[in-house]
Amino acid sequence: MSNSRPPAIILLSGGLDSTTVLAMSLAQGFAPYAMSFDYGQRHAQELDQARHIARQYQVLAHSVVKIDLRAIGGSALTSDLEVPKDRALDQDLDQIPITYVPARNTIFLSFALAWAEVLQARDIFIGVNALDYSGYPDCRQEYIRSYERMANLATRSGVQDHVALRIHTPLIALTKAEIIRVGQDLGVDYALTTSCYDPATNGAPCGRCDACQLRARGFAEAGLPDPLLKRFGQ
């Protein structure tokens, strides 16, 4: 079965968005190869989640690439800066938050590009979203299209074999509620996905960081309970 499906790289953090993207890539007929990053993030359990989800979806391979973003610094997600809590989402998210990791998506896509070339895959999926994270420059359509143009000049397959590489961003224009509804239709088990920037050691979400707030609002707007909260008895 997998032989007839074209391979695709799915950037999988183990969060709500990327898990939905993985389910969408399968629904579109791709043979998924999941790629995750161990980049010294505070919440290493995210990686365990990603592994669990990769197994559940029977990806053809799951590559966990260890990279050292801490050596570069500059973000609350990889350093000792405090994760902001209880921010007013609509006002404050216009500014680029300190949870922004410099050039993170550029680095992640570059590893995906390398793997795509080795696998001879033409398709990369990334769960960026321009609505919820308007403050992140590397979550915008304009950036992704520019990355795609560069990628098609960067690789052997693009240059020698004229194989166009596509970066799929199926969530880019969806609200969190719409993402959740799509995932719900595809049978995604959101109890497996944490979004929290600063979870407790048992994995329970803090409920107060930007990511938890956006998630809560998304489930509320979708008119659905968040199964993760049930799992942690919240």
Minimum gap (Å) between residue 190 Cβ and a second copy:
29
Q: Give residue 218's identity as a one-letter amino acid code.
A: G
Q: Of the ranges 104-112, 180-188, 206-214, 218-226, which one interacts with a second copy (CB under 8 A)?
A: 104-112
List, as one string, the DSSP characters of 127-162.
---TTTTTT-GGGSHHHHHHHHHHHHHHSHHHHHS-
Judged by CB under 8 A, the chain residues 31 through 70 that form the site for a second copy are 63-69
Contact with a second copy (CB under 8 A) among 105, 129, 169, 194: 105
Report the alpha-carbon distance of residue 122 to residue 57 in Å, rounded: 20
Q: Judged by CB under 8 A, which of 5, 45, 60, 72 binds a second copy? A: 72
CA quadruple 80, 86, 92, 94: dihedral, nearest 10? 70
> 163 exposed, middle or buried (CB, 10 Å; 0-12, 13-18, 19+)?
middle
Q: What is the CA radius of gyration of the chain?
A: 17
The reply to whether 153 sits near a second copy by the rule CB under 8 A is yes
- Residue 202's contacts (CB-CB under 8 Å, 6 or more residues apart) are 232
At 24, list the tokens.
């969408």
Tell me: does residue 115 bind a second copy (CB under 8 A). Answer: yes
Interacting residue with a second copy among 17, 123, 132, 138 (CB under 8 A): 138
119 or 192: whose CB is closer to a second copy?
A: 119
* Only segment of 12-20, 24-32, 106-114, 188-196 that touches a second copy (CB under 8 A): 106-114
- Binding span for a second copy by CB under 8 A among 46-54, 99-107, 173-181, 186-194: 99-107
Q: How far is CA 207 from CA 74, 131, 228, in A?
A: 24, 20, 11
Residue 159 found at the interface with a second copy (CB under 8 A) = yes
158 binds a second copy (CB under 8 A): yes
Instruction: Tell me how far, at minimum, the Cβ of 152 lies from a second copy, in Å.
Output: 8
Judged by CB under 8 A, the stretch of 21-29, 82-90, 93-101, 188-196 that binds a second copy is: 93-101
Contact 171, 7 (CB under 8 A): no
Torsion (CA) 140, 145, 148, 153 in degrees, nearest 10: -130
Determine, following the binding rule CB under 8 A, whether residue 149 of this chain makes contact with a second copy. yes
Q: Which residues of the shown chain bind a second copy in the complex (CB under 8 A)?
A: 63-69, 71-74, 96, 100-107, 109-111, 113-115, 117-118, 137-138, 140, 142-143, 146-147, 149-151, 153-156, 158-160
